[in-house]
Amino acid sequence: KGASIYVIKSAEPTEDYACVLELEDLDEKGNKRLLEVDWQLFEYIDLAYCLTLHKLQGSQAPNVIVLLERGRLLDRSWLYTAVTRAEDKVHIIGTEAAFRYGVNKKGAVDTRKTALAEMLKNV
């Protein structure tokens, strides 16, 4: 059976409930739906985490899923950083065209103009 994604609204356990989850969709009156998870159901819940590349930068994770979408942030340095965050597996999801775009687009680090080389000549 497919997995569902919920936001933990309350993690304060009670005698009857392990936690309260907020569902992404609304009920028929337009209100947010809440699911009270009893202790018996709680043992079947797996926690999952997602971080942006910006938040993960400098860290690693066992498995990394990279979602490629053409845009101003996608360049070869972003792609390199994304792929090298994986300790074990990396999954790249996107079109071949988006991947080629990212590989071929020079990043800010490639085009940055500084006087560093000139300053180092005098050291």
User: Rounded to whole angstroms, what are the CA distances from 11 to 37, 70, 88?
Assistant: 10, 37, 31
Q: Which domain holds residue 28?
A: 7-42
Distance CA(13)–CA(40), nearest Å, equals: 13
The larger pLDDT score, comparing residue 108 to residue 102, is at 102
Per-residue pLDDT tens for 41-99?
878 777 777 888 888 878 999 989 898 888 888 999 999 999 999 999 999 999 999 99
The answer to whether position 97 is within a domain reads: yes
H/E element holding 80? helix 76-83
The dihedral formed by the CA atoms of 114, 115, 117 and 122, expressed in degrees to the nearest 10 = -160
Same domain, 26 and 57: no
5 three-class SS:
coil
40 three-class SS:
helix
The answer to whether position 118 is within a domain reads: no
